[in-house]
Amino acid sequence: MTPPEILRTLVFGFPVIKECLDTAWPIFIQSLGGLMLSFFITIGSLIGGAILGMILALMRFTPVEEQAKRFRFRPVVLIGSSVEWFIRGLPIMIIVLLFNYLPFALFKLRVPGAILAVGAFSLYGGAYFSGVFLGGLRCVSSDLRNASRVLGLSSLQTLIHIRIPIAVRTMLPALLGITVTLFKDSSVLVVVAVPELMYTARQMAFSSPSDYAPVLGTTLLLYWIIATMISGLARLLEQHWDGAVSR
């Protein structure tokens, strides 16, 4: 294979046979492959993980204004902490295998591998998003919270208009770091034959042993370029905000 053919196949994957497509699910998702599928899984798991992470963070977050009613929140806090603790204790490989096995084993439900992958990585990422969100929400100073009470804002209004906007600024570099992790860890999907970048590279290397070195070299370069770009963006944001604070 020529270098352009190797690159094109790694980016877009192998063509999908129409007879293998399940019309019960979106054809577009089932047609993705290679780097494009890795992007889809990463973006989908970022959205799903952020939603789950915010829910878990809010379950563990008790505003200072409601300290007197803390006992009402104890079961919620305990559930949120337990879920995060349990997910963090599982290797991503186990989560991926469970997501690919349980839907059919329990409900006889056939789901495209890409959608199952998004579910597995959303669960995996949500546990780490939760810690970042919780730290961001707790970083808001008591002076700002007192000012919100003086203005007559409720706890929910304070959360939406003050805590979250300030927290996002401090959380964004860490969130980009999680993005890099999710993108690179998507390579474990090779074990369940989801045709993302690493699986495509392996199939190409097996089908054409003479191209083994250029295929793996190009794959390594693609992973490195994407991860480096996201990491560089995180550093630029940190430098920008540090400069803004110093001014």
Average pLDDT of every residue of the chain: 85
Domains and CATH numbers, the chain: 3-246 (1.10.3720.10)
Task: Report pTM.
Answer: 0.87
User: Taking CA 31 as the corner, what is the angle to CA 28 and CA 33, rounded to the nearest 5 degrees?
Assistant: 125
Closest CA to 138 of 239, 58, 33: 58
Closest CA to 87 of 102, 101, 74, 98: 98
Position 243 confidence tier, pLDDT thresholds 50, 70, 90 = low
Residue 67 has pLDDT above 50, yes or no: no
Which residues lie across from 196 on neighbouring strands?
Answer: 34
Residue 234 has pLDDT above 80, yes or no: no
Give the pLDDT confidence score for residue 65 in this predicted structure: 42
**How does pLDDT run across 103-160, given as a tens digit for each residue?**
988 888 889 999 999 999 999 999 999 988 888 877 776 677 677 777 777 777 777 7
Contacts of 165-168 with C-beta under 8 Å, sequence gap 24+, read 166/136, 166/139, 166/140, 167/133, 167/136, 167/137, 167/139, 167/140, 168/136
Residue 16 has pLDDT above 50, yes or no: yes
Give the whole-number percent of the chain exceeding pLDDT 90: 48
Position 80 confidence tier, pLDDT thresholds 50, 70, 90 = confident
The answer to which of 17-31, 62-76, 132-146 has the lowest mean pLDDT is 62-76
Which stretch, 130-134, 194-198, 236-240, has highest mean pLDDT?
A: 194-198
Residue 247 has pLDDT above 80, yes or no: no
Give the pLDDT confidence score for residue 245 in this predicted structure: 46
Ordered DSSP codes for 132-164: HHHHHHHTS-HHHHHHHHHTT--HHHHIIIIIH
Give the pLDDT confidence score for residue 76 in this predicted structure: 76
Q: SS3 helix, strand, coil % of the chain, rounded to 5? A: 85, 0, 15
